[in-house]
Amino acid sequence: MSGFKAFLLKGDLVQLAVAVIIAGSFGTVVKTFTDVLTGFIGKIFGQPKVGKVEVADVAVGPFINAVIAFVILAAIVYFLVVMPYTRAKAKFFPAEASGPTEIELLTQIRDQLAQR
């Protein structure tokens, strides 16, 4: 069981899952924005057809709905997945002790060269 826990917390599995969920929701936002943009182009140039798509009206409502749904989904994923994941990762895999900084290493080298 500890190997599975290490796989879940050390690997990029959770990050990949979050990315897929967010990308899927953002795809809906982009699609509805494209519909809005296509509607505006059709209205500006006075052509009811843009390519093979029939433009009847500018559909701003679905775009606003998609943006709100995206924000809600992002908040849920952040508070129910990302925050607990970060806490669990910090609890089970504490940060390793860091070595000397670059400045400290350069100071040591300088001091050793000065002693020669």
Q: How confident is the model at residue 29 (pLDDT cuts 50, 70, 90)?
A: very high
Pair 20, 13: CB distance under 8 Å: no
Average pLDDT over residues 8-28: 84
pTM for the full predicted model: 0.65
The 10 Å Cβ neighbour count of residue 39 is 19
Note the maximum CA span of the chain. Answer: 84
Could you state, in order of their start, the residue ranges of all structural domains in the chain? Answer: 2-115
Average pLDDT over residues 7-24: 81
Calculate what percentage of the chain has a pLDDT beyond 70: 84
